Amino acid sequence: MRRGEVWRYAGLRERDVVIVQANAAAPTAPTVMAVPLASVNDVIETLTTIRINGAWIADATRVGEFRRASLTKRMATVPAHEMDQLGAALRLALELG
């Protein structure tokens, strides 16, 4: 599991998430920081939303912890420029400057 990968999350509600946690941060922890993805038709785009691979929208305000054991299938890899945009959206959402 690496930063920038999209995984299927099989929690209470199955959905896709993009890993935003740095690769070296807590590699053995039971959870990983990720942003849930939505269909481009299901989200109003704002300063904290980023289009991912043309198929999904990531809303940086929804970042959270997801159990590694529930990440069941690797779906895609996010291009570097989109991860840079998501990083900027996360800084904006979390007021990190």
Place of tokens 């993805």: 37
Q: 5-93: what fold?
A: SH3 type barrels. (2.30.30)
pLDDT of residue 97 exceeding 60, the answer is no
Query: Mean pLDDT over residues 63-80, rounded?
Result: 96
Domain ranges of the chain: 5-93
- From CA 60, how far away is CA 57, in angstroms rounded? 10
pLDDT of residue 86 exceeding 80, the answer is yes
Contact status, residue 75 vs residue 6, Cβ threshold 8 Å: yes
Contact status, residue 36 vs residue 17, Cβ threshold 8 Å: yes
Of the candidates 78, 81, 71, the residue with the CA atom closest to the CA atom of residue 1: 71
CA distances from 33 to 1, 42, 44, 54 (A): 11, 22, 23, 22
pLDDT in tens, 1-55: 899 999 999 988 899 999 999 877 777 889 999 999 999 888 888 999 999 998 8
